[in-house]
Amino acid sequence: MIYFKSCQICSGDRSLEQDMYGWYVIFLGCGSVTYPDIVEEKKPAAASRRTA
């Protein structure tokens, strides 16, 4: 996903990328990289736990 004109340093574009280590944001204009905290959705409790 590309975020146009969203870099606060150089007013350039940013791109949200993912590799085998996780998510990162690369700044296309100035070349810097940041690692955002991404919260994943929790899966619902397993249906196998039933009350008697």
Mean pLDDT for 3-11 is 77
For 27-40, the pLDDT digits (tens) are: 888 888 888 776 66
The answer on pLDDT for 52 being more than 60 is no
Quick check: pTM over 0.75? no
- Residue 17 phi, psi (nearest 5): -130, 160
Which DSSP symbol is given to 7? Answer: -
Predicted confidence at residue 22, as pLDDT, reads: 86
Domain boundaries, the chain: 2-34
